[in-house]
Amino acid sequence: MTERAPKPSLLSRVSLNQWLALALTIVAVVFIIQNRDRVNIHFLLITVGSPMWLILLIMFVAGLLAGWLTGRRARR
């Protein structure tokens, strides 16, 4: 009979980059939850009134998208 090597745990299969991404996401979510006041956003000639959490979420997603697009281009 041959013995099989023990299967690595889920925690050991997560890379450092994944841990950092998770930590940054948690920090961003906490920041969004704590900033729920209504604010006016001025961009160019447009003024929009919106809850701050929505603006922060939109900017967070825009940053994720920019990072993803930049990372894709760098890997090619």
pLDDT digits (tens, 9 = 90+) for 18-61: 889 899 889 988 887 887 889 998 989 999 999 888 888 888 89
Domain parsing of the chain, residue ranges: 37-76
Q: DSSP letter string over 7-38?
A: PPPTGGGS-HHHHHHHHHHHHHHHHHHH---E
pLDDT computed for residue 5 by the predictor:
62
